[in-house]
Amino acid sequence: MSAIAAAWKRLPWWVEPMTVVFVLTAFGLYSFAVIVLYQGQYEQYISPFFSFTATMELPGWVPGFITAPMLLLWIPLGFRATCYYYRKAYYRAFFWDPPACQSKAQQREPRSPENYNGERALFVLNNVHRYFFYASIFVVAFLWYEAFYTVFTPDGFQIAVGSLFWFVNIILVSAYTFSCHSFRHLIGGNMDCYSCNRGGNIRRKIYSGVSRLNENGGHARWAWLSLFSLLLTDIYLRFIAAGVIQDYVLIPFGG
Amino acid sequence: MSESTNGTNGTNGREDQSLAYAPVAGTEGAKRGTTKLKIFRGDAEGGEFVEYETDMIEGMVVLDAVLNIQAEQAPDLAVRWNCKAAHCGSCSAEVNGRPTLMCKQRVNEYEGEIRVQPMQAFPVIKDLVSDVSWNYEVSRSMTPFTTSQQAPFTMYEEDVERLYEPKSCIECFMCQDVCHVLRTHHKHPEFAGPRFFVRGQWLEMHPMDEANRLEYLKDGGGGIGYCNITKCCTEVCPVGIKITDNSIIPLKERVADEYYDPAKWLMRKIRGRKGSRNGSSNGG
Amino acid sequence: METNGTRENYEVREHDVLIIGAGGAGLRAAISAAERGFSVGIVTKSLLGKAHTVMAEGGIATALGNVDPEDGWRTHFMDTMKSGKFINNWRMAEIHAKESPDRVYELEQWGALFNRTPEGKISQRPFGGHTYRRLAHIGDRTGLEMIRTLQEKVLATDAEVFMETTVTKLLKKDGRVVGALAYTRESGKFIHFKAKAVVMATGGWGKIFKVTSNSWEGTGDGVILSYDVGAELVDMEMMQFHPTGMVWPPGVRGLLVTEGVRGEGGLLRNAEGRRYMEDYDPEKMELSTRDVVARANYTEVQAGRGSEHGGVYLDITHLGYEGIMKKLPTMYHQFKNLADIDISEEPMEVFPTVHYTMGGVKVDPETCASTVPGLFAAGEVAGGLHGANRLGGNSLSDLLVFGKRAGDGAMAYIEESTHSVDIDEADLQAELRRVLEPLEKKEEGESPYLLQQELQEVMMEHANMMRNEDSLKEGLGKVLGLKDRMEKISVPGSRLFNPGWHTAQDVRYLITISEIIVRTALERRERRGAQWRLDYDGPDEDLGKINFIVTRDAQGEVGIERREIEPMPGHLADLFEEAKV
Ligand SMILES: Cc1cc2nc3c(=O)[nH]c(=O)nc-3n(C[C@H](O)[C@H](O)[C@H](O)COP(=O)(O)OP(=O)(O)OC[C@H]3O[C@@H](n4cnc5c(N)ncnc54)[C@H](O)[C@@H]3O)c2cc1C
Ligand code: SF4
Ligand code: SF4
Ligand code: FES
Ligand code: FES
């Protein structure tokens, strides 16, 4: 693992930002295509891109280019767009502000000092991140519900390979959501003295847990892993729906 | 000189008098050929890289090489150092374009060229020395620790353990050097830099501190909004402070509490308390 | 560069008090003065916060009694006197033991953070020679915490700090010190500081030895500057060797391995795997005083029982990785980074390293006034508190206690007297010429670096931990030889940040101090603390009642006087009597 990390470090500085650009763009295009063109449900599986909107009927007056999942998708999208980790990633990769830290890379920064505002101008809006966090708690709750739905189906209990996808996904999404810096702040980072306040001890313990999840690049790791798990889970759904592969049942009904 | 170490000197027989001739520690037996360094020689007006060759000694760090060159070839080569043990933060320079503590960086970890130059975010004085005095101005501008309580304090390990990390800063100013807000955009008048967010963190989180630096951090010279959390500072910190995650983001969140959170704002209006913070000894 | 004979320009700065040195002692003195509204100037050779104080690791010795409630100033006082072999100034030891708790709490008041006990008080760790667990600490970077706290406190006052500025001479008028001459390292420009009083806080002179834990700054400027204006020096023969310095690789030889390692239970073993401290101090073992442990380590290695690179083994593996990262993280990284050794898995190799100077400017215990009016001294540059051997952790508390007293003393002195601080232009010009001389010599001369290295080797060989007359005399001859060559130093380059030129200034201090040390070491014909004469059997009762006082005599040579130590007053002497019963 550390050998890979070391090898990664030795690559030219532009490899990392370019990879980020590629992956995020690909993800964006894929999810856009999915929510505009496809359905969200197949048998007991509900695409994590759709969640509860999978079965939603939009009233007739809504223009056709708006599909149901869009009513939901602004939450995870906004959550990730304002996430401290993704902010770092896109400032570096898309805006080159700076693209990397070596002096050679920093010299490539396109913005002139007069035009650099950091998070003081437009991006000051990123400070609303905590509200997206609140909203995301609901999304996470639904995703848990839908993961359980894949095993406790209307027809009875079963475990198939698909369920594993759904559970791995929601675990990663939860790890990402609850390692959020804003959550870390709200649960305990904003307190100066735990022992001076009632309930402080509990909050300190949760804070420590969140910190452990968050630290040493943890949050960035969850950010990427949960992104890939979303993608793979949805692809899996498309594949079984299209009959490309069979959903292999591990423990059948009533078993 | 070292010969006399073994020579006994029997003025009287009480004890081995040769102990009064101590060995003079040398580097013999540790030479491993030579090594080459390109060192910036010049001043504010400009300069050039000069190549030097010096003995390669086992375990040698960049600072050893620079000091050898200074003693043997270039007596006026300007360089800062003190502890030689990564405790004082004096010997910061850029090696191959990356801020580095010269006393901590082994020479044998480089393959190929080694280019040493002074930090670039500050005016160069001479050779490897740049003018870091601006940092001390910033330090002066920040409200110091303030409390109405009387020491000895009763404070518990669990309340203060997270302060040990920011407290371990050695003021090498390499985070300041690598930060693009200073290095590329020269926001020195409006931006305090990562080093001082690290300081701001322990001050703001200290259970006994009663001052409020959020206004300063936002507008009054702190300029934390200029930081776009791109983490270069964290990458270079020689004592491993997670500057962005543990200092800057928590402070940004506190600034958001105070200035960017409509619900918190409303709450403050209703409760009629301004600036009070959760759990601070003044906050209640 | 200006040619010879023309008048050299300089800037003039005026302050009530000039503080030379920005280590713990200097900064603490500055705070005292600045808080009372006096105008304060502070000069330091390095940047702010980089003095030796920042490197202190183990902790601050102070009898808070937080961990061992039995502790109190009396025990601390007695420990200090015993370790100093009773040639310390008992009044200083008393003041130090009594006032250090307040000074440490004051640091806490200013924002310093120490490790805590479960009851939420400042935690204390054991250290060599201290009866109780006594060292307030924060991991193994206590000095950093202390200097940063003081530095931030100073920056919050109006005190003016002149960084990277070197004082070359104290200026005297009508028998009083009234300022100093200095140059800025950056530009080579001169500054004449006018001040009603001067506080000397320039630290020690470990750099006269080759293997030392000290940085380039440890050249003893202050002690010679004071000696030059007639101040008395005391206990100059007493150099402390810290038992545990790194030995390998060569670049880090002498770097300190904190006593905290032994405080946390580190074991010393020789190449045969034996815990040899049993043979030297079976009672206290590894936690014996520094002089004893250092000599033990030295003897083991000289007797051929040393490790691969000529040291002994120090083993802390029992703490395990977690424990080490909690208690001694700096040590872990230091060895990992610089020596490729994982101290949670393998023992360290260590050997004594020159660490501290017990002797220095003789001061009045109450006010820290030297014997020259207007000159005060505190910290490592002052002598008296530690006697023949300093206890670990007693230095940081010394800086606080006597730093404050020096500041207060200087203020009281200023308040009492009105005197002119002007200096003859001719005197200033003569000093400027002297300082510039190495730069202006056109012919090739001695290299200051090589001269310094040679001196360090001479002192290593002849004035080390164990001494005898023959070796010392041989050393003295060599030092005097170097003194003659000193006149021929010349350096190339300009005045702009020119370390060669800076070193040329230091060499003079180093050589003069070395001469003083060797001469006083020749005089003290006994074994006492750090002074260990192989040609004498043990401590000498008569010598135990005297200090050697050094002053510059009429011919400008080193004058040595034996001075009786005043007997301890009843209330202190009784403590030792009681302890015996
Ligand atoms: C590695 C190490 C570890 C230590 N650990 C401990 C410990 O755990 N506990 C303990 O109690 N003690 C410890 N000590 C000892 C203690 O740190 C020092 O004795 C103490 O810091 C000295 O403080 P000071 O203020 O007297 O001088 P210093 O901190 O040495 O400061 C001297 C100041 O004087 C300035 N100066 C010198 N000459 C001039 C000049 N000519 N002109 C202008 N300025 C000048 C310097 O620039 C510097 O600012 C340790 C020492 C070292 C080296
Ligand atoms: S994270 Fe912020 S402070 Fe750190 S280098 Fe980047 S912009 Fe500068
Ligand atoms: S935070 Fe780290 S990089 Fe920045 S000054 Fe402190 S030690 Fe250096
Ligand atoms: S910081 Fe990444 S989700 Fe909140
Ligand atoms: S010399 Fe102190 S950090 Fe390098």
**Across the interface, do C493 and B23 touch by the CB < 8 Å criterion?**
no
Asked if C105 and C264 count as a contact pair (C-beta separation under 8 A), the reply is: no
Q: How far, in Å, CA of B142 to CA of B137, rounded?
A: 9
**Across the interface, do B27 and C466 touch by the CB < 8 Å criterion?**
no
Give yes or no for residue B279 having a pLDDT over 70.
no
Mutate to test the interface with A, among B145, B180, B243 (most CBs of A within 10 A): B180
**Across the interface, do C216 and B82 touch by the CB < 8 Å criterion?**
yes
In-domain check, residue C135: yes
- Compute CA distances B2 → A132, B7, B18, B97, C137, whole Å: 72, 9, 12, 42, 40
For ligand 3, atom 8: residue with the closest CA: B172
Same domain, C227 and C375: yes
Measure B102 CA to ligand 5 centroid, in angstroms: 7
Give yes or no for residue B213 having a pLDDT over 80.
yes
Measured between CA atoms, the residue of chain B closest to residue C329 is B239
Per-residue pLDDT tens over the stretch C357-383: 999 999 999 999 999 999 999 999 999
Q: Please tell me what DSSP assigns to residue C8.
A: P
pLDDT average, residue stretch B28-35: 83
Per-residue pLDDT tens over the stretch C392-405: 999 999 999 999 99
pLDDT the model gives residue C418:
82
Question: Which chain B residues are Cβ-neighbours of A183 within 8 angstroms?
Answer: none
Measure C393 CA to ligand 4 centroid, in angstroms: 45
Poorest-pLDDT segment among A159-163, C103-107, C227-231: A159-163
Same domain, C198 and C320: no
Measured between CA atoms, the residue of chain C closest to residue B163 is C113
Measured between CA atoms, the residue of chain C closest to residue B64 is C251
| Three-state DSSP state, C532 | strand
In-domain check, residue C571: no
**Chain A neighbours, 3+ Cβ pairs < 8 A:** B
Asked if C161 and C176 count as a contact pair (C-beta separation under 8 A), the reply is: no
Poorest-pLDDT segment among A220-224, B15-19, B35-39: B15-19
Q: How far, in Å, CA of C465 to CA of C194, rounded?
A: 41
In-domain check, residue A4: no
**Chain B neighbours, 3+ Cβ pairs < 8 A:** A, C
Same domain, C507 and C370: no
For B97, counting Cβ atoms within 10 Å of its Cβ (0-12 exposed, 13-18 middle, 19+ buried), the class is middle
Q: How far, in Å, CA of A130 to CA of A133, rounded?
A: 5
| Three-state DSSP state, A45 | strand
Give yes or no for residue C174 having a pLDDT over 60.
yes
pLDDT the model gives residue A254:
64
Any CB–CB contact under 8 A between B249 and chain A? yes
pLDDT the model gives residue A98:
94
Give yes or no for residue C431 having a pLDDT over 90.
yes
Distance of CA C397 to the CA centre of its chain: 13
| Three-state DSSP state, C549 | strand
Any CB–CB contact under 8 A between B185 and chain A? yes
State the first-to-last Cα distance of chain B, in angstroms, to the nearest integer.
Answer: 70
Please say whether the dihedral angle defined by the alpha carbons of residues C446, C447, C453 and C456, taken in this order, is positive or negative.
positive
In-domain check, residue A2: no
In-domain check, residue A218: yes
**Across the interface, do C46 and B20 touch by the CB < 8 Å criterion?**
no
For ligand 3, atom 7: residue with the closest CA: B169
In-domain check, residue A49: yes
Ligand nearest to the CA of B227: 2
pLDDT band at B3 (very low <50, low <70, confident <90, very high): very low
Ligand nearest to the CA of A126: 4
The CATH code of the domain that includes C533 is 1.20.58.100
For ligand 1, atom 31: residue with the closest CA: C23
pLDDT band at B2 (very low <50, low <70, confident <90, very high): very low
pLDDT the model gives residue C495:
93
| Three-state DSSP state, B78 | coil
**Chain C neighbours, 3+ Cβ pairs < 8 A:** B
Cis amide linkage into residue B152, ω under 30° from 0: yes
Nearest to C467 by CA among C520, C401, C513: C520
pLDDT the model gives residue B5:
36
**Across the interface, do B253 and A111 touch by the CB < 8 Å criterion?**
no
Angle, helices C394-416/C90-109, rounded to nearest 10 degrees: 100
* Ligand 3 atom showing the smallest separation from residue B243 Cα: 1
Q: Which residues, listed in sequence order, are joined to residue C561 by a DSSP beta bridge?
A: C549
Distance from CA of B225 to the nearest CA of C (A): 25
pLDDT the model gives residue C569:
96
Per-residue pLDDT tens over the stretch C528-551: 999 999 999 999 999 999 999 999
Same domain, C345 and C368: no
Per-residue pLDDT tens over the stretch C461-472: 999 999 999 999
pLDDT band at C5 (very low <50, low <70, confident <90, very high): low
Same domain, C167 and C223: yes
Higher pLDDT, B131 or B280: B131
Same domain, C325 and C394: no
Give yes or no for residue C75 having a pLDDT over 50.
yes
pLDDT band at B7 (very low <50, low <70, confident <90, very high): very low
Q: Which residue range(s) make up the domain with A137?
A: 10-251
Give the 3-state DSSP-derived string for C180-238, with helices as H, strands as E and coil as C: EEEEECCCCCEEEEEEEEEEECCCCCHHHCCCECCCCCCCCHHHHHHHHCCCCEECCCC
pLDDT band at B31 (very low <50, low <70, confident <90, very high): confident
pLDDT the model gives residue B170:
97
pLDDT average, residue stretch B97-125: 94
Q: Which residues, listed in sequence order, are joined to residue C212 by a DSSP beta bridge?
A: C354
What domains are defined for chain B? 2-130 (3.10.20.30), 133-263 (1.10.1060.10)
Same domain, C492 and C515: yes
| Three-state DSSP state, B261 | coil
Measured between CA atoms, the residue of chain C closest to residue B89 is C50
- Compute CA distances C35 → B209, C31, C178, C195, C406, whole Å: 20, 6, 22, 17, 14
Same domain, C255 and C218: no
Cis amide linkage into residue C539, ω under 30° from 0: no
Q: How far, in Å, CA of C382 to CA of C369, rounded?
A: 10
Same domain, C371 and C230: yes
pLDDT average, residue stretch A47-73: 83
Distance from CA of B174 to the nearest CA of C (A): 15
**Across the interface, do B167 and C145 touch by the CB < 8 Å criterion?**
yes
**Across the interface, do B253 and A190 touch by the CB < 8 Å criterion?**
yes
In-domain check, residue C141: yes
Asked if C258 and C139 count as a contact pair (C-beta separation under 8 A), the reply is: no
Taking CB atoms within 8 Å and a gap of at least 24, the contacts of A9-15 are: A13/A99, A13/A100, A13/A102, A13/A104, A13/A105, A14/A99, A14/A100, A14/A105
CB atoms within 10 A of CB B261: 18
pLDDT the model gives residue B10:
37
Measure C325 CA to ligand 1 centroid, in angstroms: 26
Region for residue A75 given its phi and psi (left: phi exceeds 0; alpha: psi -120 to 50; beta: otherwise): alpha
Question: Which chain A residues are Cβ-neighbours of B212 within 8 angstroms?
Answer: none
Tell me what percent of the residues of chain C surpass a pLDDT of 70: 99
Domain count, chain C: 3
pLDDT the model gives residue C2:
43
CB atoms within 10 A of CB A216: 10
pLDDT band at A1 (very low <50, low <70, confident <90, very high): low
Question: Which chain B residues are Cβ-neighbours of A109 within 8 angstroms?
Answer: 180, 184
In-domain check, residue C427: no
Per-residue pLDDT tens over the stretch C105-118: 999 999 999 999 99
Q: Please tell me what DSSP assigns to residue B275.
A: S
Per-residue pLDDT tens over the stretch B152-199: 999 999 999 999 999 999 999 999 999 999 999 999 999 999 999 999
Same domain, C262 and C230: no
Question: Which chain A residues are Cβ-neighbours of B256 within 8 angstroms?
Answer: 127, 129-130
Nearest to C418 by CA among C196, C223, C221: C196
B237 lines ligand 3 (CB under 6 A): yes
**Across the interface, do A101 and B249 touch by the CB < 8 Å criterion?**
no
Same domain, C387 and C323: no
Beta strand C190-200 with C10-20 is: parallel
Catalytic hit among C242, C269, C524, C528 = C242
The CATH code of the domain that includes C341 is 3.90.700.10
In-domain check, residue C15: yes
Q: What average pLDDT does the structure give for chain B?
A: 89
Q: What average pLDDT does the structure give for chain C?
A: 94
pLDDT the model gives residue B9:
37
Higher pLDDT, C200 or B59: C200
For ligand 2, atom 8: residue with the closest CA: B179
Q: How far, in Å, CA of C160 to CA of C103, rounded?
A: 23
pLDDT band at C50 (very low <50, low <70, confident <90, very high): very high
Select, from the ranges A64-73, A151-160, B150-159, the one with the highest average predicted confidence (pLDDT). B150-159
Asked if C329 and C139 count as a contact pair (C-beta separation under 8 A), the reply is: yes
**DSSP character string of C36-56:** TT--EEEE-SS-TT-SGGGG-
| Three-state DSSP state, C349 | strand
pLDDT the model gives residue C443:
79
Distance from CA of A226 to the nearest CA of B (A): 20
Measure C48 CA to ligand 5 centroid, in angstroms: 14
Among C504, C523, C540, the domain-final residue is: C540
- Compute CA distances A200 → A178, A211, B209, whole Å: 19, 16, 18
From A91, A116, A204, residue closest to B230, measured CB to CB: A91
Per-residue pLDDT tens over the stretch A105-131: 999 888 888 899 999 999 999 999 999
Asked if B207 and A192 count as a contact pair (C-beta separation under 8 A), the reply is: yes
Q: Which residue range(s) make up the domain with C506?
A: 437-540
pLDDT band at A166 (very low <50, low <70, confident <90, very high): very high
Taking CB atoms within 8 Å and a gap of at least 24, the contacts of A143-151 are: A143/A48, A143/A51, A143/A169, A143/A170, A143/A173, A144/A170, A144/A174, A146/A46, A146/A48, A146/A51, A146/A170, A149/A44, A149/A46, A150/A44, A150/A45
| Three-state DSSP state, C371 | coil
Domain count, chain A: 1
Asked if C493 and B75 count as a contact pair (C-beta separation under 8 A), the reply is: yes
Q: How far, in Å, CA of C90 to CA of C568, rounded?
A: 7
**Across the interface, do C46 and B125 touch by the CB < 8 Å criterion?**
no
Asked if C379 and C25 count as a contact pair (C-beta separation under 8 A), the reply is: yes
In-domain check, residue C412: yes
Mutate to test the interface with A, among B115, B161, B185 (most CBs of A within 10 A): B185
Same domain, C277 and C212: no
Beta strand C360-362 with C382-383 is: parallel
Ligand nearest to the CA of C357: 1
| Three-state DSSP state, C461 | helix
Six-digit token string for C555: 């011919």
Ligand nearest to the CA of B185: 2
Question: Which chain B residues are Cβ-neighbours of A133 within 8 angstroms?
Answer: none
pLDDT average, residue stretch B50-62: 94
Backbone angles phi, psi at C91, to 5 degrees: -70, -40
pLDDT the model gives residue C245:
94
In-domain check, residue A181: yes
Per-residue pLDDT tens over the stretch B197-210: 999 999 999 999 99
The CATH code of the domain that includes C88 is 3.50.50.60
Query: Any catalytic annotation for residue C262?
Result: yes
Catalytic hit among C52, C125, C253, C262 = C262
Per-residue pLDDT tens over the stretch C244-287: 999 988 889 999 999 889 989 999 999 999 999 999 999 999 99
Query: Any catalytic annotation for residue C192?
Result: no
Measure A93 CA to ligand 4 centroid, in angstroms: 18
Asked if C232 and C285 count as a contact pair (C-beta separation under 8 A), the reply is: no
Six-digit token string for C96: 């130090």
Tell me what percent of the residues of chain C surpass a pLDDT of 90: 90
Question: Which chain A residues are Cβ-neighbours of B230 within 8 angstroms?
Answer: 88, 91-92, 97-98
- Compute CA distances A95 → A24, A25, A82, A118, C400, whole Å: 14, 14, 15, 11, 51
Measure C15 CA to ligand 3 centroid, in angstroms: 33
Asked if A101 and B235 count as a contact pair (C-beta separation under 8 A), the reply is: yes
Question: Which chain C residues are Cβ-neighbours of B106 within 8 angstroms?
Answer: 337
Distance of CA C123 to the CA centre of its chain: 26
